[in-house]
Chain A
């Protein structure tokens, strides 16, 4: 059965799901939701995702939303079938993976979201972004990335010595930071962080996501 992924190739959360499905070798069809015209808020999509966002998936009768819940489900499925394990071997390994998944949500994302809003979304709507706020976020993000740099000086990947969903989950927002965000210096100035980024962003699964037509 081919999984249906509802979303867009250029949106971060669907990208997270697609990268994971490519990593695990689960086939999927992307069903495009037109975010520019607000299709995600239409009744049809609200049935799939009650908050009016993307992505959501349909796997036969089974439906899910929230990108991290989706990648956890497929990662657990793959590991339990003896396939690629992106979660971690032991309970303790998995706990560390969960820890860094949470760090991304609580310490990393809030800065990125604020910067996306000020640097991309508001200007697109003809408004001026708050550059003071962007500078403030950048300052906070510097401190967060110092913690990442320290972690990656002791461990090849965030969860340990193997690539897991803790690393994968960072791909879309970090790409944004370095490209539209214009803040590649934040990553490049930190040796271990930069090497980690070069490693994870050159994985075939991510290159496939980047190659998908917009």
Chain B
């Protein structure tokens, strides 16, 4: 099979890639990388991602790492398949690009750390840092205030259509909804409705059913 994703089903970054493949209705082979034994830090995985992180990606001879570079590639290379995830119009694409940066720089900064503190640390036998959780929740709340204003004017973050700007959020939102951080989303009606719509997308349900 031409498309291969090397990763772990618990990795939000890997899920970001799987979700974009599902939205595009593309076939792929999923190659499991065992994070528990540190397989991602060893060869042969390191030749796919020298930083030793999942996911890694192959499409024929092309090898990529960094989930958001992979999703961009999928969105462009398979633009004519499945759900459009980008725009051909330069100005519309630029606006989508703005909110892709916001997700990567601001949402993920708080969201990914919250997911790690509350969900991942206990699994590793570590203690959640409650002070850090408080601080990160505050940080996330400030970001979601901006989202609330944006989503009051625009159906999706990048514009009137679903795009990578929304898709990139889904794995971390799904994680946070299993925790007390759900309250931060619920307190903001436009954000809450948007998050619910994302998690109800058939492509997301499909990759989680496997």
Contact = CB atoms under 8 A, between A and B. Distances in A.
B146 to A, nearest CB: 5
A95 B91 CA distance: 20
B69 A73 contact: no
A72 interface: yes
Given A50-B149, A62-B91, A77-B90, A69 B98 contact: yes
A98 B97 contact: no
Nearest to A144: B51
Q: Number of contact residues on A: which range applies?
A: 20 to 34
Q: Number of contact residues on B: which range applies?
A: 20 to 34
B51 A73 contact: no
B51 A76 contact: no
Q: Is the interface of A mostly helix, strand, loop or mixed?
A: helix
Contacts of A51: 102, 106, 143, 146
Nearest to B46: A147
B51 A64 contact: no
Contact of B62 (A65, A95, A105, A147): A95
B97 A69 contact: yes
Interface of A: 50-51, 62, 64-70, 72-73, 76-77, 80, 91-92, 94-96, 98-99, 101-103, 105-107, 144, 147, 150-151
Interface of B: 50-51, 62, 64-70, 72-73, 76-77, 90-91, 93-95, 97-98, 100-102, 104-106, 143, 146, 149-150
